[in-house]
Structure 1
Amino acid sequence: MDIGIETIVAIGFGASVGALVWAVRALRRERALTKRLKELLLQDRHTGLPGRAMLEQRIADLMSEKGAKGSEPFAVAVFFLPTYDALVSTYGRKTVQKILEHLWHELDERADWSISACVRSGAAQVAALVRMEDRDTLKQNVTNLLRHCEFLEFGGTTVHVTIQAGIYGLGLSSATPEKALTHAGLAAQHGAPVQFYSTGIRDTAAFENRIESCMRDGLRRQEFKIYYQPKYDIRTRKCIGAESLVRWDSRDLGFLMPGAFIDTFERTGFQLQLDYYIIGQVYRFQQNRRLAKLPLVPISVNQSRMHVGERAYIEHMQKMIEYFGTSDGIEIELTETAFDFSGKEQKKCAIEVVKALKEMGYSISMDDFGTGYSDFALLSLLPLDVMKIDRSLLLAAESSDRMHVLLKKAIELGHGLGMKVICEGIETVAQEHLLLASGCLFGQGFLYGKPMPEEEFEAFLAAHI
């Protein structure tokens, strides 16, 4: 009911006091409701903090002032949680909301380069209107904030938080506040820790949206194909194992290499489902060879770092063994970055996961050793079976005597800890000779065999075991 002051005055002259009181109360209720609706439009629904509409209005006001005063150094920054779904499944929705609240407080109350901030919990975003004296300074400010928020503690639990930031300069065009936030959001989802918006990002975002729309149907239709790249004894050139790799033969997108879709899968958490599919296919391959009484070689399966914090991971891996009867011939390959030792909780969790996998009978391989993330604590605390030396260390050793010494010491270290040492990325005979001279007996690379589909790998095994 729309009751104005004229109505109240009329009632006051020609009606009872009770009617006048009723009209005044109705007017107050209407005004309170209107005020509450405005508040809801300006607040984030889950956190109660300022929402996107509020920030859009603040940007619009600033752009209006800027038009009157001339160009001003301002930008819009959007901070995005790329692993939002995985964080929710691991720590719960309330904890993730606390992460967004913490990020908002850092921007709104502590960052002197931030003017105003809002929360969009439904989009896993915090956005801010920020000062931009120059791109490099702003990028450094944002980078420092991401580092400061990388490990947060809630209720005694340390949470590793991956945040990506996108920036859109308000001086780029006459974009509306809504478009400025949208463009910054697209840049935030581009994969880099801090990214400025460009038209190329818009095109990339459109392709990533297509990937997201197709990936679940692609898994249901079994469009993801497993390729196998052989590992070999450099001395005898016999096949001693293989690494499983994935390719996506999409009905809608064509044939895609992992580089085209893995980042999107990691960002959305879909990589967890794909990992389970891949290891299931490798289990099936090994089981078929076992039933056919054919010789087996160990096959490594890459696992995303997100599994380290996944609640049901160990249970799922145990069920795989129960279904197929054994874990023989299955090697779990983890990169060094999967082991985050910056916090006590991460350290404890990583050790527990690897030890549990080892107790189940899985062989454990550390991938990408020597890429700059190495932590000797990993080698001393984790029951690792295989050390895979990254190709970059091999290439560096070809042209540097000092790097050659480091390569030899890394190989000696692996052997001294009882691990099999394999070097990946071998493409020349000279590299084989360098590795043999350094004490490495096993390798992987295009010189011996490229990744191949299952049928070709079956034939390859028959000729090279």
Structure 2
Amino acid sequence: MLGLEEEALNNSPEEWLGRIHPDDLAAFRGEFDCHIEGKTSQFEHEYRIRHADGEYRWMQVRGLVVRESNGKAYRMAGSQSEITDRKLAEERLLHGALHDSLTGLLNRALILDRVGQALARSQDNEDANFALAILDIDRFMVVNESLGHGAGDELLVALSRRLKAELGPGDTLGRLGGDEFAILIEDYQDVAEVEEFVQKLLDAIGRPFELNGKEIFISASFGIVFAAPRYVGANDMLRDADLAMYRAKKEGASGFEIFEEQRHRPRFDRLQAETSLRYALSKGWIHVFYQPIVDLKNRRIIGFEALSRLIHPSQGIVPPADFIGIAEKTGLIILLGEQMLKMACAQTVEWQRQYGLGEDLTISVNFSARHLADESIVALVGDVLADTGLPAKSLKIEITETLIMSNPELAAKTLDRIKKLGITLSLDDFGTGYSSLGYLRRFPIDTLKMDRSFVGRMDTDTRDLELVRMIIQLAHTLGMEVVSEGIETKRQFDLLAELACEYGQGFFLAKPLPAEEAGMLLANQPI
């Protein structure tokens, strides 16, 4: 295993510990000592150890301490296996999940994570200012139509390199998708400095690009938003930067616009404060929309994901982005989640009886960090199942990868209690966070929901296709089923079916629908 002859090793602990990677040694000792002291039921750890060739190999060790009659530990019984290939696969998966496959830049998920971190710093420190700039190439479609999509991709790669060359040490560049890029700007003195920097980028973009032996000139429009106390999350800032960018396009090519609340977005004051959201909850303005989850083998609906929609009497449907963040921040997400859970479970029972589907028809409900931290959440779920008559097997709780990794001990405790009720657990948005697959094996997850970002280009980019294949194979190795989100074309549907992905959802199959319309789909299967 280490490439050494048996006589080259002795039985002393120092011989083994001395070969462990310095960065892994403290954690190894900590978990080992906890087990020796009786604080854990078994010893299980992943670490790197030096091979005879000088390189480090990843190992997974499992063991149980053997004790004398007085309780004193005198040896360890267990096994060790090399997991280097698995770790390398995880690293490739993580890089692919967080980086754009065409340009190598940070992708949408990672750039939003960086913006979220910057936002948290700014809330803790008033001096930690930052800005988010979004740029979109003007008339990029003309390039694709006249020179072909291959030339368009070459242009995007060349543009990303040119932008990177202009960045300062505190700036972060990412590709959001298509011809849209994002730049996180930190360490600036004032607004004028940001404006000067963006103008420098516009000048750089305006220099000619050489494609297929021809000089091509392009321009871009920027939208800029500065951090402010009103922002709850990264998506809020991205939305406003987008609004400013489209305003810049309307004003003419090759320019920028700074977001201003009054100018770019009408205020929806009634949903900007806790009292307003409480009012909406009390008035029954929260509705459940249902997006079908379909068996890819026969295109029959096996369940629905419950999605919240706020329908205002005069404003109409309010996007979740405009109220979910407020609910999270104020704690009203618990009340919102309770209403959603009750309505979704009751509706599912009605469908099960109406169409003779029994417990095979499932309903998936999203839980947040607030839910996992609420001590009464397990009792609430049990009460809702009892009150509505929904079989526990029919309820799926969805949690995000980032959520459980932010507090793994709390997550494991709560998820174990939920699992004991007989409920199925799904890991949502898989691949957009930072989890180790080895670490995830500790959680009682039944289903991986593959994030839509992996599916979007799988029918045109072989690298994305291989990444999807890897995710499905790894999930099956871990004994989990896979649901693919964001299926938008028949080609994507067929490819996922060929890759043995069990289930899928997306606009190609059906968009989120009110209960009446969702019920009509059940009555007219397959979809």
Query: TM (normalized to structure 1)?
Result: 0.57
User: In the alignment, which residue of structure 2 is the partner of 1:445?
Assistant: 506
CA contact (8 A) 2:345 2:363 kept: no
CA contact (8 A) 1:190 1:205 kept: no
Aligned-pair CA distance for 1:134: 11
Q: Does 1:190 align with 2:251?
A: no
CA contact (8 A) 1:427 1:445 kept: yes
Alpha-carbon distance in structure 2 between the residues aligned to 1:235 and 1:260: 37
Alpha-carbon distance in structure 2 between the residues aligned to 1:411 and 1:363: 19
Aligned partner letter, 1:309: A
Aligned-pair CA distance for 1:279: 0.6
Alpha-carbon distance in structure 2 between the residues aligned to 1:238 and 1:218: 35
Provide Cα deviations, 1:120-170, integer angstroms capped at 9, x if missing partner: xxxxx7664x498999999959xxxxxxxxxxxxxxxxxxxxxxx9x9959
Task: Pick one of 257, 260, 279 that aligns with 1:200.
Answer: 260
Aligned-pair CA distance for 1:290: 4.8
Provide Cα deviations, 1:77-110, integer angstroms capped at 9, x if missing partner: xx99x99xxxxxxxxxxxxxxxxxxx9xxx9xxx
Aligned partner letter, 1:227: F
Provide Cα deviations, 1:60-87, integer angstroms capped at 9, x if missing partner: xxxxxxxxxxxxxxxxxxx99x99xxxx
Alpha-carbon distance in structure 2 between the residues aligned to 1:190 and 1:276: 25
| 1:319 to 1:140, Cα distance in 2 relative to 1, 3 A | farther
Matches within 5 A, 1:83-102: none
Alpha-carbon distance in structure 1 between the residues aligned to 2:377 and 2:189: 39
Task: Pick one of 404, 424, 429 that aligns with 1:339.
Answer: 404
Q: Output the aligned Cα RMSD.
A: 4.0
Provide Cα deviations, 1:390-424, integer angstroms capped at 9, x if missing partner: 11111243333233222112101212222221111
Alpha-carbon distance in structure 2 between the residues aligned to 1:234 and 1:370: 21
Alpha-carbon distance in structure 2 between the residues aligned to 1:133 and 1:418: 43
User: In the alignment, which residue of structure 2 is the partner of 1:41?
Assistant: none
Provide Cα deviations, 1:225-253, integer angstroms capped at 9, x if missing partner: 11111111222111111111111111253
Aligned partner letter, 1:253: Q
CA contact (8 A) 1:389 1:424 kept: yes
Alpha-carbon distance in structure 2 between the residues aligned to 1:205 and 1:390: 32
Aligned-pair CA distance for 1:348: 1.3
User: In the alignment, which residue of structure 2 is the partner of 1:373?
Assistant: 434
* Larger radius of gyration between Structure 1 and Structure 2: 1
Aligned partner letter, 2:448: M
User: In the alignment, which residue of structure 2 is the partner of 1:158?
Assistant: none
Alpha-carbon distance in structure 1 between the residues aligned to 2:496 and 2:190: 50
Matches within 5 A, 1:129-208: 130=127, 169=190, 187-192=228-233, 200-201=260-261, 206-207=267-268
RCO higher in structure (CA 8 A, sep ≥6): 1
Aligned-pair CA distance for 1:321: 2.9
The answer to which of 220-229 and 308-317 deviates more is 308-317
Aligned-pair CA distance for 1:220: 1.2
Aligned-pair CA distance for 1:366: 0.7
Matches within 5 A, 1:59-138: 128=126, 130=127
User: In the alignment, which residue of structure 2 is the partner of 1:281?
Assistant: 343
Q: Per the alignment, in what secondary structure is the counterpart of residue 448 of structure 2? A: strand
User: In the alignment, which residue of structure 2 is the partner of 1:455?
Assistant: 516
Please list every run of 5 or more consecutive structure 2 residues that lacks an aligned counterpart in the other structure.
1-115, 134-166, 172-185, 194-224, 242-257
Task: Pick one of 379, 384, 392 that aligns with 1:320.
Answer: 384
| 1:230 to 1:169, Cα distance in 2 relative to 1, 3 A | same
Q: Does 1:353 align with 2:414?
A: yes
User: In the alignment, which residue of structure 1 is the partner of 2:325?
Assistant: 263
CA contact (8 A) 1:186 1:202 kept: no
CA contact (8 A) 1:226 1:278 kept: yes
Alpha-carbon distance in structure 2 between the residues aligned to 1:134 and 1:301: 34
Provide Cα deviations, 1:294-346, integer angstroms capped at 9, x if missing partner: 314101011112222223222322322333344231110111111135xxxx2
Q: Does 1:225 align with 2:287?
A: yes
Alpha-carbon distance in structure 2 between the residues aligned to 1:294 and 1:211: 43
Query: TM (normalized to structure 2)?
Result: 0.51
| 1:391 to 1:126, Cα distance in 2 relative to 1, 3 A | closer
CA contact (8 A) 2:427 2:447 kept: yes
Q: Per the alignment, in what secondary structure is the counterpart of residue 382 of structure 1? A: coil
CA contact (8 A) 2:342 2:388 kept: no
User: In the alignment, which residue of structure 1 is the partner of 2:38?
Assistant: none
User: In the alignment, which residue of structure 2 is the partner of 1:310?
Assistant: 374
Alpha-carbon distance in structure 2 between the residues aligned to 1:251 and 1:133: 37
| 1:170 to 1:333, Cα distance in 2 relative to 1, 3 A | closer
Q: Per the alignment, in what secondary structure is the counterpart of residue 248 of structure 1? A: strand
Alpha-carbon distance in structure 1 between the residues aligned to 2:260 and 2:486: 31
CA contact (8 A) 1:371 1:393 kept: no
Alpha-carbon distance in structure 2 between the residues aligned to 1:462 and 1:131: 55
Alpha-carbon distance in structure 1 between the residues aligned to 2:465 and 2:130: 45
More helix by share: 1
Alpha-carbon distance in structure 2 between the residues aligned to 1:441 and 1:463: 21
Alpha-carbon distance in structure 2 between the residues aligned to 1:134 and 1:449: 37
Task: Pick one of 273, 282, 299 that aligns with 1:237.
Answer: 299
Q: Does 1:214 align with 2:279?
A: no
Please list every run of 5 or more consecutive structure 1 residues that lacks an aligned counterpart in the other structure.
1-78, 84-102, 108-124, 142-164, 173-183
User: In the alignment, which residue of structure 1 is the partner of 2:78?
Assistant: none
Alpha-carbon distance in structure 2 between the residues aligned to 1:366 and 1:430: 25
User: In the alignment, which residue of structure 1 is the partner of 2:35?
Assistant: none
User: In the alignment, which residue of structure 1 is the partner of 2:104?
Assistant: none
User: In the alignment, which residue of structure 1 is the partner of 2:447?
Assistant: 386
Aligned partner letter, 2:260: G
Aligned-pair CA distance for 1:376: 1.2
Q: Per the alignment, in what secondary structure is the counterpart of residue 247 of structure 1? A: strand
